[in-house]
Amino acid sequence: MPDATLVEMDEARYSALADPVRRRILRLLEDAAEPRDVGHLASLVDLHSNTVRGHMDVLERAGLVSKTSEVRNTPGRPRMLYGLAPDSEPPAGSGYRLLSEILATALRAAVGEPREIAVKTGRKWGLYLTERPSPLRPLSPEDTTSRITEMLADFGFAPEQSTHDATSTVIELRDCPFRDLARTNADVVCSIHLGLMRGAAEALGGRTLVTSLDPFVEPSMCRVLLQLSTSIEPDDVESRPAQAEPRDAS
C-alpha cells in the first residue's frame, strides 16, 4: 500500500504542475546555470513579483523547488534564490512515464524505425481530435495557425508564434508535457506531435501545412514551421527517417 506521505506529495506535485505559469517557471529554472530570485523570474514570465512569489510557494510545498538565502558580502537584506529541487523530476518508473517508455520501446522493437509509423498515427489522431470547419467558410491560414496553436496549448504546451511572413509561420513550443521522455525517445514522442499537428492542419482545410518540427533547439524549446499549401505540395511533406530529429518535411 502506498505511503500516505508519498501520495500526498504526488497530489501536491500534480496540482502544482497543473498551472502553465508554474510549469514555465520550472523550465526556466532548469535552463538556468544558477538559482534565480523572484524579481528575475517575474521579468521572464511578465508577471508581478508578488504573483510569482505565490507560485514559488506552491512549487516549494510540492517539493519541486528549493530556496536558499543569498550570500552577501555587502550590507543589505539577502535575496531568496530558487532552484530546482534535487528530486523534482518524476521517478523513472512512475505513472505515465513507465507506460510511455514501455510503449515506445515496444514500437521500436516491432518496426525498427518507429518515426514514420509514429507520424502517421499522430496524423490520424489529429484528424480525429480536430473539429472541422464548414466547407462554406474555409479558414484562413492565420486562423488555421491559431487553431493549431490553441490545440498545442490544450495538450499542455506553451506555444508562441515567433515569426510570420507571407508564406510561413514559426511556432516556438515550450513546456513539452512529455519533455523528459522526448529526450530519450524523440523519434516516437516528437514524431507523434508532428503527426498530430499535420492531421489537425489537414482537418482544418489543408491550406496550411506543418512542414517540420525541430526538437530542442534550446533546452526548453522546440520549433515548428508551418507553410501555406500554395507554396509547397502535400507530397513534399512526407516524413524522412531521422533518429532524433523528426523535423524534415521532405
pTM check: above 0.75: no
User: What pLDDT is stored for residue 138 in this prediction?
Assistant: 85
User: What pLDDT is stored for residue 170 in this prediction?
Assistant: 95
- In angstroms, rounded to a whole number, what is the distance separating the alpha carbons of residues 194 and 49? 36
Identity of residue 108 = R
- In angstroms, rounded to a whole number, what is the distance separating the alpha carbons of residues 125 and 115? 15
Burial readout 152-185 (b: 16 or more C-beta within 10 A, e: otherwise): beeeebbbebeeeeeebbbbbbbbbbbbbbbeeb
DSSP the chain: ---HHHHHHHHHHHHHHTSHHHHHHHHHHHH-SS-EEHHHHHHHHT--HHHHHHHHHHHHHTTSEEEEEPP-SSSSPPPEEEEE-TT-SPPTTSHHHHHHHHHHHHHHHHHS--HHHHHHHHHHHHHHHSPPPPTTSPPPHHHHHHHHHHHHHHTT-EEEEEEE-SSEEEEEEES-TTHHHHTT-HHHHHHHHHHHHHHHHHHTTSSEEEEEEEEEEETTEEEEEEEEGGGS-GGGG-----SS-TT---
Whole-number Cα distances in Å, 96 to 5, 87, 180: 20, 17, 11
| Residue whose entry in the numeric block shows the C-alpha cell 498551472 | 19
pLDDT per residue as tens, the chain (250 positions): 345 455 566 677 778 887 888 888 988 888 787 899 999 999 988 899 999 999 999 999 988 999 998 887 777 788 899 998 886 655 444 566 677 778 888 887 888 789 999 999 999 999 999 999 988 888 888 899 999 999 998 888 889 888 878 789 999 998 887 887 888 888 999 999 999 999 999 999 988 999 999 999 887 889 999 998 764 444 444 433 333 445 555 4
**Using an 8 Å Cβ cutoff, are 11 and 47 in contact?**
no
Cell of 92: 523513472
